[in-house]
Amino acid sequence: MATVSKSALRRILVHGWPVLLVFALGITLTLVLARRAAETEAQLAHSRFEQSARARIALVKELIQGQLRELDALRRFITLGPELTRQDFQALARLSDRIQMTVAWNQNVPSTELDQYRARMRENYGDNFRLRLPESVEPLGSGDIRRYFPITYHKSSVPGADLIGIDTGYLPSRIAAYEQAMSTGEAVMIGGVRTLDDPGDQTGILVFSPVFEGDAGNDITERHFGNLRGFVAMSLRLNALADLASEAHGGGPGIELLFSPFPSDSSDDMPADVADLLSRHKRVFTDELELADGIVSVHAVPLQRDDWQPRPIGLVIAIVGVAGAFLGAAYLALVILQRSRAEQMVASRTKELKSALDALSESEARWQFALAGSGDGVWDRNMETGEVFYSEAWKAMLGYASDEIGNGLSEWTSRIHPDDLAGCRHALETHFRGESQYYEHVHRIRCKAGHYKWILDRGKVVEWLAPGRPARVIGTHSDITHVKQTELELVEANAFLSNLLSSAENMSIVATDSRGVIRLFNSGAERLLGYASEDMIGQQTLEYFHDAKELSAQRQALAKDNEAGLEGVAIFQACIDAGAQSQRWTYHCKNGQERQVQQTLSVMRDNEGKRLGYLSIALDMTDYLKAVDALEQSDRLLQDLTANVPGAIYQMVVRPDHSFFFPYVSDGVRQVYGLTPEETREDGARLLQRIHPDEVDGFRRSVQRSRETLLPWMREFKVSVPGQAEKWLRGEATPRRLDDGSTLWHGYVSDVTEIKQLEMQLRKQATIDPLTGTFNRRHLETHWQREIARVQRKGMPFSLIMLDIDHFKLVNDTYGHDIGDEALIRLGRMLRKEVRSTDVVYRLGGEEFLVLCEDTDVDGATRLADMLLDRLRHLPMPFEKWITASMSVIEVVADDDMPTAFKRLDELLYEAKASGRDQVVSEPVKPVV
């Protein structure tokens, strides 16, 4: 290093203040610029994080809202339908294909209807159906013996989910939700629980929506268990929603979604574990999801603590600035020391600084254009070298990692759909020739997975070598796949609507604007009224072809509810406000004819509820009304002819959807059903309501068999008419298939109560012991084969208990046969009272009785026999002493016949008597081979 001379030191001391000033200004500007850059980068990092978090939360919101709409549609169908079948539920319950979830029907089953419910469920699921307790997803309650809430149907995408028959009445949290839903009539949410379909996950969300009878009102007094049909339930898990959001937005820094569900009227305090996790993250975005009556707070936090951190641009600028300030001061000192050498160094440093500024300007241009292009994929093409810069977002848009895409033009052009390549090149060349200010083209690009995305490609030449010779082009790629799909759906919807309106030739469809001026006049309106659409659209109003007298009558009828006079389209608006959207009107046609139509009016509104116009749909009823008059005359003639026919003559039609109605019923229906013909025709279900509950299922099955086979229908059944005793009817009808797939029956119904009572009396006398009221041996002979068939079908044996009174002959000899008969009567009454409702008591003869115990092995029957023997020892008799009995017990299996079984019973009974009487002897249990 050269020695500094005295003169140089003197120059430094004299002129040193510019050096210090340059250094101080450089440090100040560097700090300001570094601070501004750090703040800008922090804002950009927060914006990127918030945008990504919003996208994930929007996906979760869309899925939840869609499933809530599906759940509400299912609830409305059940409310309006008479009975929910398993097939209807499976067809209507729709699950998301994005996450695992379950939709279920929890039916309200009163204890008085439990047997009927079990019978119906066995028809759906077979004889193995059982009510069962839920798994221990929470401490179980004691349940409610007055009613049950079993899961009747369910549809689940959770592997291994089997919930049919689980009684949710034992789960306190569900019962609390049921009661809340009953009080509000709205859906209720339970959050943060373990669900029955996936008990191992504690992030479950349950939504229960109550379903009441279709005729139940909105008043709170109408919402009670008597009107409650059940609850439609939806279960999903918050972990699954978080996984869905992560999978749908893969790539780049990760984001974790945390959920805090709580009722809308509860405290906003979040769970301690969630609050602790949020406190450890500086960057958090929070939103809320409305779910039924509750709210789920969604917190988006970085997956890793270092994710989404701003880049250290401020530090870099500070380091570079400080170094620049130091170098500037040093350069200025060198200028003072050695002017010539300083000039060379300044020239060299100026060139280097220009290069750095150019690079910085180039980078800033890319960033600014990317922001102008909505943050989508950015490309930068150098026309001289042929290299193309592709941003990380551009690569990620196509599903590629940063190192999977090179910098060649073919990386772009080779992935463009062959049908779109020529148009893309033409748009670029047009812009290169200066014929367009910007380059813009929509085409398809193949992704890594093989499918195509619709891309909006926009760009601009930013540097020119010469006119018509671009040097550098920068542009963006925007994913508009969803926009194209929406456009296609709109085109299809418009085409469908146009075809629908064109095909409705038998229906007049007229649409107007808010002033009533006609804007749509379809071919059906032209055919009905005789006017051409071009003469009506924009020329006339809706009331043009209406009868003036009818309009005046409507104006007068509605005037009392409207202070101002009604004119023009205001008349129709007033009809709509009064609830008379559908009315009978008279249309005046172009040829002078008058046509009677059924017109339905509705208001068309935009998404914000603003009224756009009116829609009128009219059906010509003129010929129909004439036909109705003719039919009424024919009906009066038929009523006169059938007035004296015993019983009721009728026609019944069952449609393909199983709905039915009665086109004709004679006056005889008053005697057999206690209904008028008008009541039956208006509501055919009222006639079926007269059928005894025990007969309804069999009645429906017999009609269904006749409908399927087209064989004559014949059945005897009981009916209950208010104010009358139960009676038996006999119905016969002949079916015929109609062109639309419906089935028409012609038939009659007559009263056969007296014949049926005589028949049942004879049957009872043949099977009931007249003294004790128990069944006799003849009934046992007919009942035996049915019990053996049940054993063969279910595999569960039944048992027999034979009872013989000890020394009964002595009772008759001592007290007389009347006292002996009274003892038998008391014994028979005691046996029928003490055994189960499914067990059958027989008197085989004299003092010998038999008890048949269904689904019972020999051990259970022996315990019953011991109990009966103890009751007999304390049974009061019409004399001072007590009586005892000897009993034998055996178990009957599938291959036993009746004689063999009775032989075994007699042998054991003889053993009991020989061993001292007053005891039970049972057959040893056969070992299992």
Which sequence positions are flagged as catalytic? 847
- Non-local CB neighbours of 551 within 8 Å, separated by 6+ positions: 543, 571
- Non-local CB neighbours of 529 within 8 Å, separated by 6+ positions: 508, 545, 587, 589, 590
220 touches 182 (CB < 8 A): no
**Structure-derived torsion over alpha carbons of residues 62, 64, 65, 68, reported in degrees to the nearest 10:** 160
Whole-angstrom distance, CA of residue 386 vs CA of residue 406: 12
- Non-local CB neighbours of 434 within 8 Å, separated by 6+ positions: 467, 468
Ramachandran sector of residue 876 (left: φ over 0; alpha: ψ -120 to 50; beta: rest): beta
- Please list the residues that pair with 155 across neighbouring strands: 103
909 touches 804 (CB < 8 A): yes
- DSSP-derived letter for residue 434 is T
Question: How far, CA to CA in Å, does 644 sit from each of 631, 648, 659, 668, 754?
Answer: 21, 10, 31, 8, 21
523 touches 566 (CB < 8 A): no
What is the residue whose two structure tokens read 């539920």?
A: 89
Residue 197: CB atoms within 10 Å: 23
Q: Is 922 helix (H, G, I), strand (E, B) or coil?
A: strand
* Token representation of residue 512: 């107007």
- Please list the residues that pair with 228 across neighbouring strands: 212
Whole-angstrom distance, CA of residue 627 vs CA of residue 915: 89
DSSP letters of 587-639? EEPTTS-EEEEEEEEEEEE-TT--EEEEEEEEEE-HHHHHHHHHHHHHHHHHH
For residue 210, give the nearest of 112, 72, 103 by alpha carbon. Answer: 72
Cα angle value 873/874/876 (rounded, 5°) = 115
Ramachandran sector of residue 434 (left: φ over 0; alpha: ψ -120 to 50; beta: rest): left
Q: Show the beta-strand stretches assigned E in 337-434.
A: 377-382, 388-390
Residue 138: CB atoms within 10 Å: 15
Cα angle value 449/450/452 (rounded, 5°) = 110
Backbone torsions φ then ψ of 100, nearest 5 degrees: -85, 130
- Report the helix count and the strand count for the chain, using DSSP H and E: 27, 30
CA atoms within 13 A on the CB side of 185: 14
Backbone torsions φ then ψ of 464, nearest 5 degrees: -120, 140
Backbone torsions φ then ψ of 149, nearest 5 degrees: -125, 65
Whole-angstrom distance, CA of residue 52 vs CA of residue 830: 78
CA atoms within 13 A on the CB side of 351: 5
Cα angle value 262/268/272 (rounded, 5°) = 85
* Token representation of residue 422: 């020529």
Q: Is 451 helix (H, G, I), strand (E, B) or coil?
A: coil
Backbone torsions φ then ψ of 607, nearest 5 degrees: -65, -25
- Please list the residues that pair with 477 across neighbouring strands: 377, 457
